[in-house]
Amino acid sequence: MVTAEEFQKDMIGEIAYNSAVSTLKEVCDLLSERNPKFNWTGIYVVSGDYLILSAFHGEATEHTRIRIGEGLCSLAISEKRTVNEKDVKSNNEYLACFVSTNSEIVVPVKYGDLAVGEIDIDSDTRNAFDSDDEAFLEELSSSLAPLVKLIYDHYAQQA
Q: Which residue ranges make up the site for ligand SME (CB under 6 A)?
A: 42, 61, 63, 71-73, 94-95, 97, 104, 120, 122
Left (φ > 0), alpha (ψ -120 to 50) or beta: where does 40 sit?
A: beta
**At closest approach, how far in Å is the CB of 121 from ligand SME?**
9
Secondary structure of residue 117 in the 3-state scheme: strand
Distance, C-alpha 54 to centroid of its chain: 7
Cβ distance to ligand SME smaller for residue 17 or 40: 40
The residues that bridge with 44 in the sheet, in sequence order, are 53, 118
**At closest approach, how far in Å is the CB of 5 from ligand SME?**
41
Cβ distance to ligand SME smaller for residue 112 or 122: 122
Residue closest to ligand SME, measured at CB: 71
**At closest approach, how far in Å is the CB of 84 from ligand SME?**
13
Distance set, CA 58 to CA 26, 37, 53 (Å): 12, 12, 13
Cβ distance to ligand SME smaller for residue 71 or 117: 71
Residue 53, class by beta-carbon neighbours within 10 Å (0-12 exposed, 13-18 middle, 19+ buried)?
middle
**At closest approach, how far in Å is the CB of 44 from ligand SME?**
8
Residue type, 64: T
Left (φ > 0), alpha (ψ -120 to 50) or beta: where does 137 sit?
A: alpha
**At closest approach, how far in Å is the CB of 80 from ligand SME?**
15
Cβ distance to ligand SME smaller for residue 13 or 86: 86
Cβ distance to ligand SME smaller for residue 4 or 66: 66
